[in-house]
Amino acid sequence: MNKGVLGGIVAAIVIALIVGISLRSHRKLGQNLPPKTECVNLGDALQQAWGHVVKTGGMVASTSGTPSMEPYITGRVLVTYNKVAWKDVPNGSLIIYRGRKGEYITLDGKQVDASTIMICHILADRYPNGDGIPIGLNNSFYERNARVNDEVFVGVVDRVFTWAQ
């Protein structure tokens, strides 16, 4: 067999293994998602979310509504979250954070300054300096430009409230 062909076959096998491991790891990230409550409408979601934080503490926020967390989160939702020290947030947690000023995302067909919205993603891993690497369940890649740290971190999501939109 030609060395070039053999090298190509070996490279293809290695790439297939890497992709397989990556996809399996990506699926595992979504295994410990917080409970999701299906509400009748936004008013019902607000009432249930605030009722939850009255009982358990925490805060309520509205998320950006990008498709990156589909099918778990579809459209804009309310989340309840707790503020914890950034260094104590374990990988695999569903976190809420603000984008950095000057970073833009597409929302409803428009470019929006990411620092003006709340983003929900899973904390996939950390860089050596402690910054977090977020990923959406619907993304086949890590958020390359997004880094989560004390500056943009808001909290760990403990419940999601959705409604038909």
Query: Which one of 2.10.109, 2.40.350, 3.30.230, 2.60.40 gives the CATH number of domain 33-163?
Result: 2.10.109
pTM above 0.85, yes or no: no
In tens, the pLDDT along 118-152 reads 888 899 888 899 999 888 888 776 666 678 999 99
Q: What is the mean pLDDT of the chain?
A: 81
pLDDT digit string (tens) for 68-77? 888 888 878 9
Structure tokens at 104: 């833009």
Place of tokens 């619907």: 138
Q: What is the pLDDT of residue 90?
A: 93
- Alpha helices, H only, 30-132: 42-56
- State the Cα–Cα distance between residues 41 and 114, nearest whole angstrom: 26
How does pLDDT run across 25-59, given as a tens digit for each residue?
Answer: 445 666 789 999 999 999 999 999 999 999 999 99
Which residue type does 92 have?
G
| Residue 85 reports pLDDT greater than 70 | yes
What are the structural domain ranges in the chain?
33-163
Q: Which long-range contacts (CB under 8 A, 24 or more apart) does 110-114 make?
A: none
